[in-house]
Chains A and B, each alone.
Chain A
Amino acid sequence: MSTDTTATVPTEAPAAEAPPAPPAKVVFDVQDLDVYYGAFRAVRDVSLQVHQHEITAFIGPSGCGKSTVLRCFDRMNDLIEGARVEGRILYHGVDLYDPRVDPVEVRKRIGMVFQKPNPFPKSIYDNIAFGPRLAGMKDDLDDRVEKALRQAALWDEVKDRLKKSAMGLSGGQQQRLCIARAIAVQPEVVLMDEPCSALDPIATARIEDLMQEIKSEYTILIVTHNMQQAARVSDRTAFFTTEVNPESDTRTGLLVEYDSTDKIFSAPSDERTENYVTGRFG
């Protein structure tokens, strides 16, 4: 795979250009990240910094590797055979891919919400209590469950049927349940992989509200195919795109631009970003 296209990609840390008023603490520092599936390079040259108590959105056309990159933050890609990364993701200064790092410990601190709601076929209560039980937080379980459901704005809807199966909830409720499940273990970061793509607009609006509600306590990374959503909820936005590798007819994703959301949507510095956010492709 050739590397001669590297020069055209702006990899300088854009955070330096437009810092939000008080420079927030950096949670993740991604340095020259490449992701491979076997010999195939799925994503190349991602460098960005994620700040505490902010919502960071990953946008871009499908196949641009935004979900792949997101899954590196809690090492979910480890579960895919042949997947590996080059470069570094520093989490508070520790490389997540240091061989001594236990991915399970990573996932305890960094929660994830998936595209399709995936409640366990257990009761609502047991779904939320699952993580805390795992982490040995067995005391005051009822309070933890209530707090998590309240934070996920689901409490009033389900408080009378906590022992009922979570499979009986609507899609939007299931997704909020999954958010509640993720935050019940008090992670520092919540990763969201297109959390609203399976939901109707009303359910989507509730989840967006919810993200604003909880961002003071968590750091959120969200992948979305919906630019309006990114513009509505996020503080910073990373725009990814794909390039075709001519000799192998495969596509590799790459980070085009990373900046404050306002800047990305009003005055992007890269032409490709501008074309994308204004809807003019090519």
Chain B
Amino acid sequence: MTDLSFDREAERLLLEATTSRSRRVKDRLASVWMVGSVVVAVVPLAIVVAYVVAKGASALSVDWFTKDLPAVTRKAGGGMGPAIVGTLLITAGAALMAIPLGVLGAVYLHEYGGRGRLAGLIRFMADVMTGVPSIVMGLFIYTVFTLRFGLMGFGGSLALACLMLPIIIRSTEEMLRLVPDELRQGSYALGNRQWRTVVTVVLPAAFGGIVSGVMLAIARAAGETAPLVFVIGAAARSLNTDLFSGNMTALSVQIFSNAQTPFAAAQTRAWGAALTLIAIVFLFTILARVVSARVARRHNA
């Protein structure tokens, strides 16, 4: 025997929303807020990138990459070659120092220090160090290095290395954490010593993730301005490929100084430098993505 009235009641319950109107309105508002936030964040990204591409593209030419900076910034002409080379060299110098130190430091934290107190302190301080303003790193290198040895590209490398070091330590440690302990045990069981286990098994297994973290650190350092302004001799206008002597300039510093002038030619130069710098930074960011995606795919296979 079927009770039809009961069915109708169930139908009413399921089809007519019993959730009160105000609750539904709040839910809708929350959704609007969340979607709206994404839009609000995407808009500046789109606008900034659009401006940089639109205004910067006109500055690019063969001369842009090959010529020295002009003597008079208010006039058009000249190129950005020395700054491009400077950015690449200074960042490379920083990476050469920060990568080995950072990876080794992470090896200590995860493979040796573990949950010990010293490792905990270093880990905490590395986190804190990522929060030290880049301008303070610049002042630091100025006081301990530039005052003694003078202006040179290497001072910038030192400052950027200080910024990269904690990022590399922490991202590498995260990657080492993902290496299964079974691999270490397998290596020990073959009579491999701990340090060789780290070098021959653990680091290769974590390689992709480490590279991706390093790339992001490099991307971040390449765009830094504040730590370079008063340690590299940024007024340089001609090409200098020697990190250890003579003034050097960099893209970020050129953007900064050209942006402060009221002259159209200088401002165009700033946009062009911004486009070049963003291209370099995005290249590293995308490389990091590609590397980590490839590693993820290999692990899933």
A and B touch in their complex, CB below 8 angstroms: yes
Write the nearest CB–CB distance from B209 to chain A, whole angstroms. 12
Q: Report whether A120 and B191 are in contact in the complex, using a CB–CB cutoff of 8 Å.
A: no
Nearest chain A residue, comparing its CB with the CB of B295: A121
**Which listed residue (B185, B192, B196, B298) contacts A165, Cβ 8 A?**
B298
Q: Which one of A127-135, A202-210, A215-223, A268-276 is at the B interface?
A: A127-135
A107, A118, A122: the one within 8 Å of B182 (CB): A118
Q: Number of B residues whose C-beta is below 8 Å from A?
A: 20
Do residues B186 and A104 form an inter-chain contact, with CB atoms below 8 A? no
With contacts A118-B180, A121-B205, A167-B299 taken as known, whether A131 is within 8 angstroms of B185 at the C-beta atoms is no
Flag the segment in A30-38, A58-66, A178-186 that touches B: A178-186
Asked if A253 is an interface residue, CB under 8 A from chain B, the answer is no
Cβ of B190 within 8 Å of any chain A Cβ, yes or no, is yes
Q: Taking A114-B185, A120-B183 as contacts, is the C-beta distance between A108 and B298 under 8 angstroms?
A: no
Q: How many residues of A contact B (CB 8 A)?
A: 29
Nearest CB of B to A270, in Å: 32
Residues of B within 8 A of A121 (CB): 183, 204-205, 298-299
Interface centre among A74, A107, A111, A135 (most CB of B within 10 A): A107
State whether A134 and B185 are in contact (beta carbons under 8 Å apart), knowing that A120-B201, A120-B205, A121-B205 are contacts in the complex: no
Measured in the bound complex, the distance between the Cα atoms of B191 and A109 in whole Å is 8
A147 CB–B CB distance under 8 Å: no
- Most chain A beta-carbon contacts within 10 A, residue among B183, B185, B190, B298: B190
Residues in A with CB closer than 8 Å to B43 are none
- Chain B residues near A181: list those with CB within 8 A: 186, 190
Contact call B182/A104, Cβ cutoff below 8 A: no
Contact partners of B186 in chain A: CB under 8 A: 114, 118-120, 178, 181
**Inter-chain contact B183/A107, CB cutoff 8 Å:** no
Taking CB as reference atom, which chain A residue is nearest B180? Answer: A118
Q: What is the distance, in angstroms, from A120's C-beta to the closest C-beta of chain B?
A: 6
Check if A131 sits within 8 Å of B190, measured CB to CB: yes
Q: Most B CB atoms within 10 A — which of A116, A119, A121?
A: A121
Instruction: Check if A79 is an interface residue, CB within 8 A of chain B.
Output: yes
- The answer, yes or no, to whether B187 is at the interface (CB within 8 Å) is yes
For B182, the chain A residues whose CB sits under 8 A away are: 114, 116, 118
Of the candidates B185, B186, B196, B201, the one having the most CB atoms from chain A within 10 angstroms of its own CB is B186
Is the CB of B28 closer than 8 A to any CB of chain A?
Answer: no
B185 touching A76, Cβ below 8 Å: yes
Nearest-CB residue, chain A, relative to B115? A81
- Identify the closest chain B residue to A184 (Cβ): B190
- A237 CB → nearest B CB, Å: 23
Whole-angstrom distance from the CB of B180 to the nearest CB of chain A? 7
Evaluate contact between A130 and B185: CB separation under 8 angstroms. Answer: no
Residues from 201 to 219 in B contacting A, C-beta threshold 8 Å: 201, 204-205
Q: At the interface, yes or no: B282 with Cβ under 8 Å from chain A? A: no
Q: Is the CB of B183 within 8 A of A118?
A: yes
Q: Which residues of B contact A111 (CB under 8 A)?
A: 189-190
CA distance A130 to B189 in the complex (A): 12
B298 in contact with A134 (CB, 8 Å):
no
15 contacts between A and B (CB under 8 A): A74-B189, A76-B188, A76-B189, A106-B191, A107-B189, A111-B189, A112-B189, A114-B186, A116-B182, A120-B205, A121-B205, A121-B299, A130-B200, A134-B190, A181-B186
Residues of chain B touching chain A, judged by Cβ–Cβ distance below 8 Å, are 180, 182-183, 185-193, 196, 200-201, 204-205, 298-299, 301
